[in-house]
């Protein structure tokens, strides 16, 4: 059996469910073969067919022992077998009804190990699978209990980590659950994420990091930790001067929370000559979300005594 037999649109229309199930069952059997070429081909076929069809994902899950086999293969010493197996598991997780089935504690602990010790490619695949499984709300707390949050935060401390985007996306999904936000803050996520924002690795990473910071800042513990970060207002103003709209949306949300919590933060922002200009520009030329938040920032500024703030000393004044 070849991948083409599954991928051809005409064969997909004509192949009966029974025939497809038979072929997939054979693939699963071949995936356990001691012959590397047979095993590799079977896994590649399963990757291909589970990418294109929710039906084929369901048929694969129905094969007796298929998921335990794939999880076992994802622990293989062969990087190729491991990556292919993780890719299949990720594809299966795209079906919402499989997210709970795949998120056993044993599997979560295995994914934790891959985040800590895996190759760059393995970390990307494991992070993607974590993100997908965490989209089921009932799974979010399980990852928090298993220590996944701490491991994701620790992985992001590695300079220029290749899987940074995947790690951040996983944190963003897990951060939808309050308890996970608390764990993240107490694991030092605030300073790690600010470092990502301030790094030169790319504005797309900064945008995702700011999304996570916004989630953590919804709660008092996270907001307090954010205020304690040295030059946090300076960092957010710099983001507003950049080009990435996602980053600007995140920075405006964080500034709104900072200003609500601390008049000192508002006073510091007004020490930057460019601040009012970039906010005004964003309120006109930003995305819908950025315009709304920029307008709220302008309202907050005009509702305060600007002259008092502009004449006050600021810890940021030596920087411009």
What is residue 268's three-state secondary structure? helix
Give the pLDDT band (50/70/90) at residue 122. very high
pLDDT tens digits for range 205-219: 999 999 999 999 999
pLDDT tens digits for range 128-180: 999 999 999 999 999 999 999 999 999 999 988 899 999 999 999 999 999 99
As to burial, measured by CB atoms within 10 angstroms (0-12 exposed, 13-18 middle, 19+ buried), residue 36 is: exposed
Provide the token pair at 168. 């951040």
* Rounded distance between C-alpha atoms, residue 251 and residue 209, angstroms: 10
pTM: 0.88
* Rounded distance between C-alpha atoms, residue 96 and residue 103, angstroms: 12
| Alpha carbon separation from 52 to 3, 27, 60 (Å, rounded) | 11, 16, 13
Tokens 């989630």 identify what position? 215
Residue 34 φ then ψ, to 5°: -80, -15
A 10 A CB-CB count for 5 gives 15
Query: Sign (positive/negative) of CA torsion 152, 158, 162, 168?
Result: positive
Residue 316 has pLDDT above 50, yes or no: no
Give the pLDDT band (50/70/90) at residue 304. confident
Give the pLDDT band (50/70/90) at residue 111. very high
Please tell me the predicted confidence (pLDDT) of residue 249. Answer: 96
Give the pLDDT band (50/70/90) at residue 17. confident
User: What average pLDDT is seen over the chain?
Assistant: 90
């Amino acid at each position: 059996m070849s991948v083409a037999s599954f991928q051809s649109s005409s064969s997909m229309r004509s192949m009966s469910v029974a025939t497809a199930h038979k072929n997939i069952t054979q693939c699963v059997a071949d995936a356990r073969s001691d012959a590397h070429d047979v095993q590799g081909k079977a896994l590649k076929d399963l990757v291909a067919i589970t990418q294109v069809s929710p039906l084929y994902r369901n048929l694969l899950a129905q094969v007796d022992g298929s998921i335990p086999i794939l999880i076992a293969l994802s622990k293989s010493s062969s990087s190729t077998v491991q990556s292919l197996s993780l890719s299949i598991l990720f594809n299966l997780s795209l079906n919402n009804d499989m997210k709970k089935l795949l998120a056993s504690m044993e599997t979560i602990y295995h994914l934790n190990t891959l985040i800590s010790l895996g190759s760059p490619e393995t970390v990307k695949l494991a992070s993607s699978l974590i993100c997908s499984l965490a989209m089921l709300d009932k799974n979010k707390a399980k990852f928090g209990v298993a220590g996944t949050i701490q491991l994701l935060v620790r992985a992001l401390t590695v300079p220029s980590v290749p899987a940074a985007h995947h790690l951040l996306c996983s944190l963003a999904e897990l951060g939808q659950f309050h308890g996970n936000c608390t764990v993240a803050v107490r694991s030092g996520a605030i300073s790690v994420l600010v470092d990502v924002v301030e790094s030169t690795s790319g504005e797309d990473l900064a945008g995702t990091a700011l999304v996570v910071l916004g989630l953590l800042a919804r709660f008092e513990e996270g907001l307090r930790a954010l205020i304690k970060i040295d030059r946090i207002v300076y960092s957010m103003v710099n983001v507003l001067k950049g080009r990435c709209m996602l980053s600007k949306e995140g920075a405006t949300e964080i500034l709104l929370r900072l200003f609500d919590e601390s008049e000192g933060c508002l006073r510091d922002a007004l020490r930057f000559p460019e601040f009012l200009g970039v906010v005004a520009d964003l309120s006109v030329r930003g995305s819908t979300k950025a315009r709304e938040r920029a307008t709220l920032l302008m309202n907050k500024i005009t509702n305060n005594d600007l002259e008092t703030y502009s004449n006050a000393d600021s810890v940021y004044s030596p920087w411009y």
